[in-house]
């Protein structure tokens, strides 16, 4: 999802949660379905990822983003410290458009964060 889309459509979502991801292994440990999606998409298992990492051109952040796009039952918004997405979330929090349950300014620079949400019916 693009940052401008989220700013304009956030009211269409509910059940917001923030997922802090330490690394690619923590990403797969966070939800076992993601390992299945990874295997289907990249044709290797998560267990082979480290060994075959050079065969995948995407960065870990790009892999995370790509796999979350393939999840059907939730919507996701991926960000890292001070990237365009994070800055928009900070603005939304400051303008009181959104309350994320945490101070969105206070995220770690060595982590990936994902806003998890449900589309309202």
> What is the reported pLDDT for 106?
92
Give the residue from 83, 107, 78, 105 showing the smallest Cα distance to 92. Answer: 105
Mean pLDDT for all residues in the chain: 92
Q: Which two structure tokens, joined as six digits, stand for 18? A: 């923030």
> What is the reported pLDDT for 54?
93
Residue 61, classified by CB atoms within 10 Å of its CB into exposed (0-12), middle (13-18) or buried (19+), is middle
The share of the chain scoring above pLDDT 90, in percent, equals: 74
pLDDT digit string, tens, across residues 87-109: 999 999 999 988 888 999 999 99
> What is the reported pLDDT for 105?
92
Counting Cα atoms < 13 Å in the Cβ hemisphere of 54 gives: 1
Whole-structure pTM value: 0.89
| Residues 6+ away with beta carbon under 8 Å from 20 | 107, 108, 111, 113
CA distance 52 to 118: 34
CA distance 107 to 121: 31
Q: Which two structure tokens, joined as six digits, stand for 35? A: 């390992």
**Kind and range of the H or E element at 19?**
strand 13-21
> What is the reported pLDDT for 51?
95
Per domain, the residue ranges of the chain are 3-119
* Each residue's pLDDT expressed in tens, for the chain with a length of 121 residues: 566 678 888 888 888 899 999 999 999 999 989 999 999 999 999 999 999 999 999 999 999 999 999 998 899 999 999 999 999 999 999 999 888 889 999 999 999 999 999 988 7
């Amino acid at each position: 999802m693009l940052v401008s889309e989220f700013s304009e459509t956030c009211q269409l979502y509910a059940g917001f949660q923030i997922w802090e991801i330490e690394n690619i292994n923590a990403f797969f440990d966070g939800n076992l379905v993601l390992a299945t999606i990874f295997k289907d998409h990249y044709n290797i298992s998560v267990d082979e990822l480290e060994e075959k990492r050079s065969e995948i051109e995407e960065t870990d952040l790009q892999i995370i983003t790509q796999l979350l796009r393939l999840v059907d039952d939730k919507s996701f918004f991926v960000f890292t410290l001070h990237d365009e997405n994070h800055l928009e979330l900070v603005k939304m929090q400051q303008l009181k458009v959104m309350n994320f349950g945490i101070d969105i300014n206070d995220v770690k620079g060595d982590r990936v964060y994902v806003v998890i949400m449900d589309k309202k019916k």
